[in-house]
């Protein structure tokens, strides 16, 4: 089972040796088939419940290990704490095991679990997952988008509830230069945010916006969200620039790449 007399550079401990011998005896007997059938039944039951509660599952591989997508580590910690309060322990898969925004709730289905145990557990996952979404102001559609999944369609208790887009009268204004925006209005929204008032943004544009070389040039995008009457609600801006993936590599290594700008 371990490819030799050593495991992780030390001999097998007596408990591990005993477990390995017992496992081998089960696999050599007819008992293994009854155990496999019981485990397969529990796996199928769990998979059906996960689909019934429309939880974001990365893939349904019909294995004992399950992964419920939660997105950010902050949301994952929120859900795990809620599960602990309900008396359930779940393992949280976080960075660097998975990408930062692909955190997930991981749990294992065992043969010894009763049907009620599985049903109550999955119900708790669904309840705490959606409560965590509300706490962290994250939509389920955003979580699914991070994993490339389809939008949610809740099917709890046999009813299907597809998420619909709420109609809104808000509008989004976009500009590529601070000169296109009323300075007084911009300052009323962002003058207290460091140097990001109209004068500060103009200084950034004059410093980085007119560069000839693409690796030195910034592109600017300004956004203002307004309500139906035109009153500004939110404002921000973004800068876009070329990022060098091998920025910490030696020059000789970088020179071997394609698209090197002289």
Q: Please report whether residue 247 resides in a domain.
A: no
Q: Is the same domain home to 125 and 183?
A: no
List per-residue pLDDT tens for the chain, 262 residues long.
445 555 555 677 899 889 999 999 999 999 999 999 999 999 999 999 999 999 999 888 788 999 999 999 999 999 999 999 999 988 899 988 888 889 999 999 999 999 999 999 999 999 999 999 999 988 899 999 989 888 876 554 444 444 444 556 889 999 999 999 999 999 999 888 778 899 999 999 999 988 888 888 999 999 999 998 889 999 999 999 987 766 667 777 767 654 544 4
Task: Decide: 154 and 129 in contact? Cβ < 8 Å.
Answer: no
Could you tell me if residue 102 is inside a domain? Answer: yes
pTM higher than 0.75, yes or no? no
Q: Say what the pLDDT of residue 2 is.
A: 47
Same domain, 137 and 196: no
Same domain, yes or no: 41 and 145: yes
| Domain match, 47 and 68 both | yes
Answer yes or no: is 94 within a domain.
Answer: yes
Question: Do residues 155 and 218 share a domain?
Answer: no
| Helical H segments across 86-179, by residue range | 115-135, 140-146
Q: 75 with 105, same domain? A: yes
DSSP three-state, residue 25: helix
What range defines the domain where residue 220 resides?
171-240
| Number of domains, the chain | 2
CATH classification at residue 101: 3.90.1150.10
Nearest in space to 60 (alpha carbons), one of 149, 125, 137: 149
């Amino acid at each position: 089972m371990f490819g030799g007399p050593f495991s992780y550079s030390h001999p097998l401990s007596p408990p591990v040796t005993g477990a390995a011998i017992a496992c081998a005896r089960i696999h050599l007997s007819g008992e293994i088939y009854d155990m496999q059938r019981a485990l397969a039944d529990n796996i199928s039951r769990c998979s059906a419940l996960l689909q019934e509660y429309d939880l974001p599952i990365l893939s349904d591989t019909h294995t004992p290990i399950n992964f419920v997508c939660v997105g950010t580590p902050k949301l994952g910690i929120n859900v795990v704490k809620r599960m602990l309060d309900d008396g359930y322990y779940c393992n949280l898969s976080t960075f660097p095991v998975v990408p930062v925004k692909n955190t997930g709730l991981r749990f294992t289905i065992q043969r010894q679990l009763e049907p009620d145990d599985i049903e109550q557990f999955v119900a708790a996952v669904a309840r705490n997952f959606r409560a965590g979404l509300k706490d962290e102001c994250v939509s389920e559609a955003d979580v699914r988008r991070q994993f490339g999944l389809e939008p949610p369609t809740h099917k709890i208790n046999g009813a299907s509830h597809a998420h619909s887009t709420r109609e809104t009268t808000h509008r989004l204004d976009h500009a590529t230069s601070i000169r296109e925006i009323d300075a007084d209005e911009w300052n009323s929204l962002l003058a207290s945010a460091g140097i990001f008032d109209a004068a500060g943004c103009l200084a950034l544009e004059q410093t980085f916006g007119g560069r000839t070389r693409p690796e030195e040039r910034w592109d600017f995008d300004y956004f203002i969200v307004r309500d139906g009457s035109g009153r500004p609600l939110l404002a921000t801006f973004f800068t876009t620039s070329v990022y060098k993936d091998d920025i910490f590599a030696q020059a000789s290594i970088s020179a071997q790449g394609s698209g090197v700008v002289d």
